[in-house]
């Protein structure tokens, strides 16, 4: 399995490790905080990941979009729910987000395909 | 009642009417779509308003933040839920969003005060 | 005449002079370039000012919007043309630009009123 | 013809179809509006496409830049006109837009080459 | 002393306290990190504050600009140094940053005036 | 040597030449200004390049990041200094900048490797 999704996951993991190994404490603390904020609180993890997905889409960051899509799907968010969240991002962010919508739909398809390949659904 | 919140609400209403009365059909259709996208679908209205709030905060738009805060509170979102959503916006959007966090907390207090004044809580 | 429009014009002029008087040559050259780029070329001044207005609106800069509105009106751009340009900005930039659309419509009204007061139409 | 331009066109078409087929009505309505806003009105199509190009460049969206370049060239916009519009985008948006200027010039060359290959000029 | 600068300082302090008192731990940790990152490291505090100022200017956040200006001046950054840093922000961020340049020059003047009034120079 | 870094350098040079050869004077003047602003003034070149790097990172422009990294390294900026500057960009710009942090760390490694290959360290 050597598709774009898999390459992204491996690249992300490898580079995050290098960043954390660089010894800069402020960066390390930020990464810790970035994980903590999506953990279950008063809001459940599913809602939090949808918030992360919409924030990533209006800010037009493909790397962030695919990460939150993966997390959303782990939390059992359905395609219809993802489409509604992306529709909000589109209206808020405008046509300039459309290329990122295309990317989100492409990655969503890849994530679902991989999920099925793993027999996880 | 002549506070900043009230002035914002009246200004917003007055100007939206002028924009819609200008006769530009594309603008009118966009405004319709902007209302439609927050209506109950697979995702409930509360979640949708939280998505709108986080999108508005990372994009750093005070006018949009106060609007979605008002809507969130109409949908019975609690302060703790709002704080968690704003925490995600802060981590995603960085310290550059802090002035908008201050504005959100200020307006939240005003909206709650007005709500109590109306005996609606 | 002590309205918001007039105050903006005076503040802009006063601060621009202070910036240019600060003695930083790179800033000075940039300001010169910023004037030059809107001068008549292959594209006429009216088209260039509309380009400046749309760029300012999608980038959500009120100070830039009012400046280009004033210039557009000097170049005899009509309200209908301005509305069509703003509609494009709205679709490209999304609902996050709506507060700036409200501001544009408000300022447009003030500029037209002032123009009539001056007997210039 | 298997260049980057052709791949972009095919990818764009394929993914837009998937997005529209997803069944989300708000997204569908937005796509309709996004086509409508560039149609001839008081402003002609050429001016509208230039507005779209400048908005795309200051917002730094390569996918949007190449799309509007293609449309501009269909409407007989000349290279000199495109350069003047891009100069405005550069001054408004700053050096951060330069990588997108490089992309615009690269794609412009490819579009012109393809146009000649088709004997359309 | 009831000028805009003083009002900003007091508002900022009051609202930051309310935000920290809200009980959201992730927000609190982010605020701690936001202070830590500007402390002397391999880079001195003066350089770090200039980095904060330029980041704030290209991201066009007045509240952040005035904060970093105050800090820069505490670290004995001269006006000429500030102008050079702002010139970089202007070239990188484009004419859209000019209203924020005006604000920076205005606040700089107020901070210097206050400094003299305090006999601190 | 046919890595991503080398390809970027060659592409950048080739396209910049084409842009400058296009004959648009305003673009040409902007490019001149973009070089001038990083030259030694009251602030030294090292500080100016760090300012350019942080501005590029918070604005999330990979092409600009790699360019300023190359310049920083020419001016003998150390890895620890770069990490501290990037930490500020991360806190100011939020988690949305993390993909660009990954890119910066990747390119930094390539630039250092190339530097050693050239016996320049």
Contacts of E96 in chain C (CB under 8 A): 55-56, 59, 61, 64
Q: Using the beta-carbon criterion (under 8 Å), do D83 and F11 form an inter-chain contact?
A: no
Q: Using the beta-carbon criterion (under 8 Å), do E26 and B106 form an inter-chain contact?
A: no
Q: Using the beta-carbon criterion (under 8 Å), do A99 and D55 form an inter-chain contact?
A: no
| F57 and D121 Cβ atoms separated by less than 8 Å | no
Chains sharing 3 or more CB pairs under 8 A with chain C: A, B, D, E, F
| Chain C, window 42-61: residues with a beta carbon less than 8 angstroms from a chain A beta carbon | 58
Residue-averaged pLDDT of chain B = 95
Residue-averaged pLDDT of chain A = 95
Which residues fall within 8 angstroms of residue F77, CB to CB, at 6 or more apart? F46, F49, F50
Which residues fall within 8 angstroms of residue C43, CB to CB, at 6 or more apart? C51, D50, D81, D84, D85
> What's the length of chain E?
121
Contact status of A29 with chain E (Cβ, < 8 Å) = yes
What pLDDT, on the 0 to 100 scale, is given for residue C19?
Answer: 98
> In terms of Cα–Cα distance, which of F75, F27, C27, F67 is closest to E85?
C27
What pLDDT, on the 0 to 100 scale, is given for residue E8?
Answer: 94
Residue-averaged pLDDT of chain C = 95
| Chain D, window 58-87: residues with a beta carbon less than 8 angstroms from a chain B beta carbon | none
Cα Rg for chain E, rounded, in angstroms? Answer: 15
Residue-averaged pLDDT of chain E = 95
Chains sharing 3 or more CB pairs under 8 A with chain B: A, C, D, E, F
| B95 and B57 Cβ atoms separated by less than 8 Å | no
Q: Using the beta-carbon criterion (under 8 Å), do A96 and D55 form an inter-chain contact?
A: yes
- What's the rounded mean pLDDT across residues B35-43? 98
What pLDDT, on the 0 to 100 scale, is given for residue D4?
Answer: 87
Q: Using the beta-carbon criterion (under 8 Å), do F19 and D101 form an inter-chain contact?
A: yes
> What's the length of chain A?
121
> In terms of Cα–Cα distance, which of F94, D35, B119 is closest to C92?
D35
Largest CA distance in chain C: 42
Sequence-distant contacts of F59-62: CB under 8 A, at least 24 apart: F59/D96, F59/E58, F59/E59, F59/E92, F59/E93, F60/A61, F60/F93, F60/F96, F60/F97, F60/F100, F61/D60, F61/D96, F61/D99, F61/F100, F62/D99, F62/F100, F62/F103
Which residue from E minimizes the CA distance to B86? E27
How far does the CA of residue F37 sit from the closest CA of chain C (Å)? 6
| D36 and D65 Cβ atoms separated by less than 8 Å | no
Cα Rg for chain B, rounded, in angstroms? Answer: 15
How far does the CA of residue B31 sit from the closest CA of chain A (Å)? 10
Distance CA D81, CA C12 (A): 30
Which tokens is E52 given? 């904060």
Q: Using the beta-carbon criterion (under 8 Å), do D83 and F23 form an inter-chain contact?
A: yes
> In terms of Cα–Cα distance, which of C33, D92, F35, F88 is closest to E54?
F88
What pLDDT, on the 0 to 100 scale, is given for residue B103?
Answer: 98
Chains sharing 3 or more CB pairs under 8 A with chain E: A, B, C, D, F
Which segments of chain F does DSSP mark as H helices, in order? 4-21, 25-36, 45-58, 62-74, 79-93, 98-117
Which tokens is A108 given? 């969503």
Contacts of C100 in chain A (CB under 8 A): none
What pLDDT, on the 0 to 100 scale, is given for residue E3?
Answer: 83
Q: Using the beta-carbon criterion (under 8 Å), do D88 and C38 form an inter-chain contact?
A: yes
Contacts of B86 in chain A (CB under 8 A): none
How far does the CA of residue D117 sit from the closest CA of chain A (Å)? 28
What pLDDT, on the 0 to 100 scale, is given for residue E33?
Answer: 98
How far does the CA of residue F121 sit from the closest CA of chain B (Å)? 36
Distance CA D91, CA F33 (A): 11
What pLDDT, on the 0 to 100 scale, is given for residue C63?
Answer: 97
How far does the CA of residue A1 sit from the closest CA of chain B (Å)? 30
CB nearest to A102's CB, from D15, D55, D62: D15
Q: Using the beta-carbon criterion (under 8 Å), do C41 and D84 form an inter-chain contact?
A: yes
User: Helices E25-36 and E4-21 meet at what angle, rounded to 10?
Assistant: 130
What pLDDT, on the 0 to 100 scale, is given for residue C83?
Answer: 98
What pLDDT, on the 0 to 100 scale, is given for residue C118?
Answer: 77
Q: Using the beta-carbon criterion (under 8 Å), do B91 and F94 form an inter-chain contact?
A: yes
| Residue C2 confidence class, pLDDT cut points 50, 70, 90 | low
DSSP 8-state assignment for residue D94: -
Contacts of F100 in chain D (CB under 8 A): none
Which residue from B minimizes the CA distance to F93? B94
- What's the rounded mean pLDDT across residues E44-62? 98
Q: Using the beta-carbon criterion (under 8 Å), do F93 and B90 form an inter-chain contact?
A: no
Q: Using the beta-carbon criterion (under 8 Å), do F102 and A16 form an inter-chain contact?
A: yes
What pLDDT, on the 0 to 100 scale, is given for residue F4?
Answer: 87
Whether residue E46 has pLDDT greater than 80: yes
Cα Rg for chain C, rounded, in angstroms? Answer: 15
**pLDDT, tens digit, 9 for 90 and up, residues B59-82:** 999 999 999 999 999 999 999 999
What pLDDT, on the 0 to 100 scale, is given for residue A46?
Answer: 98
CB nearest to E58's CB, from F55, F80, F85: F55
CB nearest to C59's CB, from D34, D51, D58: D58
What pLDDT, on the 0 to 100 scale, is given for residue E1?
Answer: 44
For chains A and D, what is the number of CB pairs under 8 angstroms?
A: 50
How far does the CA of residue F80 sit from the closest CA of chain A (Å)? 8
Q: What is the 3-state secondary structure (H, E, C) of chain E?
A: CCCHHHHHHHHHHHHHHHHHHCCCHHHHHHHHHHHHCCCCCCCCHHHHHHHHHHHHHHCCCHHHHHHHHHHHHHCCCCHHHHHHHHHHHHHHHCHHHHHHHHHHHHHHHHHHHHHHHCCCC
Q: What is the DSSP string of B2-63?
A: -SHHHHHHHHHHHHHHHHHHT--HHHHHHHHHHHHTTS-SSS-HHHHHHHHHHHHHHTT-HH
CB nearest to E99's CB, from C34, C55, C63: C63
Contacts of F91 in chain A (CB under 8 A): 26, 30
Q: Using the beta-carbon criterion (under 8 Å), do D93 and E97 form an inter-chain contact?
A: no
DSSP 8-state assignment for residue A38: T
Q: Using the beta-carbon criterion (under 8 Å), do D91 and E92 form an inter-chain contact?
A: no
| Residue B117 confidence class, pLDDT cut points 50, 70, 90 | confident
> In terms of Cα–Cα distance, which of F59, F53, F56 is closest to F45?
F53
What pLDDT, on the 0 to 100 scale, is given for residue B118?
Answer: 77
How far does the CA of residue C75 sit from the closest CA of chain B (Å)? 21
CB nearest to D88's CB, from C48, C64, C89: C48
- What's the rounded mean pLDDT across residues F70-89? 98
- What's the rounded mean pLDDT across residues A21-41? 98
| Residue A3 confidence class, pLDDT cut points 50, 70, 90 | confident
Q: Which residue has the higher pLDDT, D119 or F13?
A: F13
Cα Rg for chain D, rounded, in angstroms? Answer: 15
What pLDDT, on the 0 to 100 scale, is given for residue E121?
Answer: 46
What pLDDT, on the 0 to 100 scale, is given for residue E2?
Answer: 52
Whether residue C121 has pLDDT greater than 50: no
Which tokens is F91 given? 């806190």
How far does the CA of residue B46 sit from the closest CA of chain C (Å)? 19
Whether residue E58 has pLDDT greater than 70: yes
Which tokens is B54 given? 């986080």
Contacts of F94 in chain B (CB under 8 A): 58, 90-97
- What's the rounded mean pLDDT across residues D2-29? 94
Which residues fall within 8 angstroms of residue A53, CB to CB, at 6 or more apart? A65, A68, A69, A72, A82, A85, A86, A89
């Amino acid at each position: 399995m050597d598709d774009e999704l898999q390459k992204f996951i491996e690249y992300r993991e490898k580079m995050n490790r290098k960043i954390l190994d660089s010894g800069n404490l402020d960066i390390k603390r930020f990464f810790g905080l970035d994980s903590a904020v999506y953990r279950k609180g008063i809001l459940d993890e599913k809602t939090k990941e949808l918030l992360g997905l919409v924030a990533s889409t209006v800010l037009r960051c493909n790397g962030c979009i695919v990460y939150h899509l993966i997390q959303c799907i782990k939390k059992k968010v359905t395609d219809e729910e993802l489409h509604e969240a992306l529709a909000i991002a589109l209206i808020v962010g405008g046509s300039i987000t459309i290329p990122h919508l295309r990317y989100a739909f492409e990655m969503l398809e890849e994530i679902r395909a991989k999920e099925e390949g793993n027999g996880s659904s």
